[in-house]
Amino acid sequence: MFSIARIIGQRIALGALTLLIVSLIIFAGIQLLPGDVATEMLGQAATPEAVAAFRKSLGLDMPVHLRYLHWLFDLLQGHFGTSLASGRDIFEIVRPRLFNTLFLATCTALIAVPLALLGGVLAALYRNTLLDRVINIVTLSSISFPEFFVAYITILVLSVHAGVFPSLADVDSTTDLAGRLVAIALPTLTLTLAVLAHMIRMTRTSIVNLLANPYIETARLKGMSEWRVLIRHALPNAWAPVVNVVVLNLAYLITGVVVVEVVFVYPGLGQLIVDSVQKRDIPVVQACSLIFAAAYVLLNLTADILSIVMNPRLMHPK
């Protein structure tokens, strides 16, 4: 029998290996981009001597494998490098943007997760009724539209016509909490609609499957109300798959906000990586990509560990 500590240790080691492989893919993908960074930064009128000197100052004259090892060693020391566009330390640029992205994702999760659990429970409890059909239609409709389409629809309806919320999520370090909440109202609504469907359908499916078990029927025959059967017997056994899909959708909230941030011009990490690509600021693109990858790997690892903890059968080898 495997101990839970050993299994968690294996998952953490696998997550670290995955992140190392992802860092190699990110670095290699950046190197394969067309064009030369030095030429793009200096312009077409730059002399070959100036381009060569600039490439040497950036370390681009070194072999690719040595550049990767230097970049990886600096990352392990907590140094992301220096921005080519502004000359500032990348960590100082990324820190406020990362906070904005995490704030948006947290607000969305605080709204989406309770709504998803409530919607899934109601759809399972009143399955094959009008309420169940309405929830299914709404969730399937929301999952069928891309985020940018939903974003523009919310801008058109709630900003242009109704004038309730601002169309641009303009925040900075001086914006107070109330101002931030108003500014991110439409991005939060867009992301909530994007992740709600998966969580509702998984919650409904898990509970419906459990309600068909014999012990549920026994509880009903004892005279328990449907809600009591659901809360005391069905939900505790449905948590494992539900928590898994919730955490995976939280991973999407961290890594899938690029399109939404660009539409609403929200100063988050997604907007930063798009701006950096346009400026050919390669070190910032690498840092942002690695942060997205690390967040996704970490949350997937969390989902895996929670599944093991909440389902003891996964601790036994087969």
The reported pLDDT for the residue numbered 155 is 92
Residue 147: helix, strand or coil by DSSP? helix
The C-alpha angle 221, 224, 227, rounded to 5 degrees, equals 125
- pLDDT score of 313: 60
| The pLDDT value given to residue 29 | 79
Tokens of 59: 């370390």
- Alpha carbons 223 and 229: distance in angstroms, whole number: 10
Topology of domain 90-315, CATH? MetI-like fold (1.10.3720)
Over residues 270-313, the pLDDT tens digits come to: 888 888 887 777 888 888 888 888 888 888 888 777 777 766 66
The domains of the chain are located at: 90-315
Q: What is the pLDDT of residue 1?
A: 47
Q: What is the pLDDT of residue 187?
A: 92
Quote the pLDDT of residue 36.
62
Residue 158 phi/psi, 5° resolution? -90, -15
3-state SS assignment for residue 89: strand
| pLDDT tens digits, 199-228 | 888 888 877 777 777 777 777 777 777 777
Q: Which residues of the chain fall short of a pLDDT of 70? A: 1-3, 33-46, 58-61, 310-318
Q: How far apart (Å, rounded) are the C-alpha atoms in residues 95 and 98? A: 5
Contacts of 191 (CB under 8 A, 6+ apart): 104, 105, 108, 112, 147, 253, 257, 260
Per-residue confidence (pLDDT) for residue 58, from 0 to 100:
67
DSSP lists the bridge partners of residue 82 as: 89
End-to-end CA gap in the chain: 10
Spatial distance between the Cα atoms of 133 and 122, rounded to a whole number of angstroms: 11
